[in-house]
Amino acid sequence: MRSTASLTAHSFVGQCFSPGQATGQDVLVELVPGSLVVCLPDGQRLTAPLSEVQLSRGGFNAQQWQFSWRHDGGQWMIALSDPNAQQRLRSKPPVGLEKQLASLSKAQHKANWVARIGWSVLVLVILTPLILLGLLWWQADRIASWATDRITVEQEAALGQAVFEAQKSHLRLIEQSPLQAPLEEMGQRLTKGSAYRYQWYLTDDPAINAFAIPGGIVVVNSGLVKASSSPEELAGVLAHEVQHVEQRHSLKGMVQNLGLAAIAHFALGDYSGSLPAQMATELADLKFSRDHERDADNKGFDTLLKADINPQGMVSMFEKLDQASGSAPPALLSSHPDTQERIAHLRSRLAGLQARKFTPLPYPWPKLKQSLAK
């Protein structure tokens, strides 16, 4: 890789995140007229048209620049954290990125101002003299809870919709599927009495996964449906994801990961601008805590019982995913290495039900799964 001393105004060293890669790798990036060129460690050069590259801010306090684009059906991202390289690009914007750089610089200036306001709010409202020096590091979860507790369900729904719209272009949504009605019917049973108005979406994605967006938007991958053997197994996953919404796990996690700037936005009631796009980026990489996963398991199990849906489906689906995953667990089970412990706990709860009978869900599952292959 070229020495940093020889970098030009339009070249820099950044971290490359490619499909299927858990961690970033250092690469040389060159911005030439109309294109972004990535010099990969194996000697290959990957070129992306600047017209397809989205420039946004991310990382702690949104000081990182992120160049994102799609290539061969996968999402690629270059993270630039070096302030010197950022300044070089500001001083001499590459052809094709002038407008995005100007917009980003303006947003970053505003974010820095909002962050300063956020510090003042934290000092005046939250911090006490005894924990002034340590609160930001030791009480991050409480700070995130403080911010999210001040958001109404209506505000969260509006924010969640904005996050979904920011992410929508990257999803291959399936419309008019025979599975849509069963999905919504199961969802209604699992969310009866909820303060949220849920939306349910199917997407053409082979990854065995589903995810919930704050405010009650649940996206189910076709890969998850195909991996299930019964509607009860899918319902078990839906019950788990619903509880991440009901307990606001996703919202708290994203606020905590985005740092002080996001907390200040929430404290001031500002849910516009680049915040939804930043939260959409964070949502893709969000890892729930061990306590949050167990909470979603337990409350999801309870929800299945209340809905008269056999929770054996939740247990068997988690067992199936764990057995099939080997060294690469699906996203649903990859948050923590204690999957076996979680499954054992659910098994013990299942055993405690003794001989309780459940009415099977009335859906022709093999036929519905086959419809995804069309």
What is the set of active-site residues? 241
Q: Please, which residues have CB within 8 angstroms of residue 51's CB and are 6 or more apart in sequence?
A: 34, 96
Q: Please, which residues have CB within 8 angstroms of residue 68's CB and are 6 or more apart in sequence?
A: 53, 54, 55, 56, 75, 76, 77, 78, 281
Alpha-carbon gap, residue 64 to 104, rounded angstroms: 11
Alpha-carbon gap, residue 349 to 343, rounded angstroms: 10
Q: What SS3 state is found at 202?
A: strand
Alpha-carbon gap, residue 200 to 202, rounded angstroms: 7
- Report the chain's C-alpha Rg in angstroms: 23
Q: Please, which residues have CB within 8 angstroms of residue 261's CB and are 6 or more apart in sequence?
A: 61, 62, 111, 114, 115, 118
Alpha-carbon gap, residue 195 to 57, rounded angstroms: 32
Alpha-carbon gap, residue 56 to 281, rounded angstroms: 10
Element (H, E) at 11: strand 11-17
Say which residue the tokens 């303006």 belong to: 106
Alpha-carbon gap, residue 82 to 101, rounded angstroms: 15
